[in-house]
Amino acid sequence: MGFADQRFNVNLSILFTELPLLERPAAAAAAGFTAVELWWPWIDTPTPERSELDALRRAVEDAGVRLTGLNFYAGELPGPDRGALSLPGEESERFRANIDVAADFAQSLGCTALNALYGNRVDGVDPAEQDALALENLVRAARAADRIGAVLLIEALNAPESPRYPLVSAPAAVAVVDRVNEATGLGNARFLMDLYHLSMNGEDLPAVIDRYAARTGHVQIADNPGRGAPGTGSLPLEDLLDRLAKAGYEGWVGLEYKPGDRPSAEAFDWLPADRRAAR
């Protein structure tokens, strides 16, 4: 069980970032992977030029990898914004402008998971107002995801690194999943279980897995402390993934960790080459 029984993809927004964006899919393929995921690559715009979208699509296709996950526009990542959909004013409008752009791009590459980061609390704005705006925008995103046959992912981040982000526990994120599904009736909102973020919040990871594996649409991993590759910290990631598999999780596991002081291509020594290609 454990690492041998998972389907791994590489997050090209945190790994291979020493390379230009359009070179990263081929680099992941050269490292033996057949699937990748991305944060929204254009942090300064939710609506890039068609030529930019087409160039990235060709880079993914030419590399022979599959895009399995994509974030909606979320502002500057990594950075202070941590999402746009619950921010009143311009940022919320930018998120809305991005919904169909991101969904159509995902569909063009057969991607079936779209992640919507909730957004920080804003000084002087009633949290209830932000939550109402978030639900409205998540409903729009869920409908766009449904249109392309995808799931909408809701993620918990961690309080030490994102103190103004309101979803900093598994129950908080799953509660939003439930509200979205109730509002749409589509049932396509799912929990994104990021084991690094949850561990930073001090959650009981085996209990989270047992309780929420069936509600989970995607898993991401990094070791803790340090957000490095498995084996660089103290998280028993192989045991945790084994537990997920036994709980019935059969989806992708995204490698969303920092490569450390080395090229990204050298940051996969914990995973034998014959286990990197999805089976």
Active-site annotation holds for 256? yes
116-137 residues labelled b (16+ CB within 10 A) or e (exposed)? bbbbbebeeeeeeebbebbbeb
Please pick, among 155, 203, 238, 250, the residue that the annotation labels catalytic: 155
Please pick, among 37, 91, 203, 256, the residue that the annotation labels catalytic: 256
Question: Between the CA of residue 19 and those of 15, 180, 265, what are the distances in Å?
Answer: 9, 37, 11
Burial class from Cβ neighbours inside 10 Å (0-12, 13-18, 19+) for residue 97 reads: middle
Residue length, the chain?
Answer: 279
Identify whether the C-beta of residue 190 lies closer than 8 Å to the C-beta of residue 224.
no
Catalytic positions are 155, 256
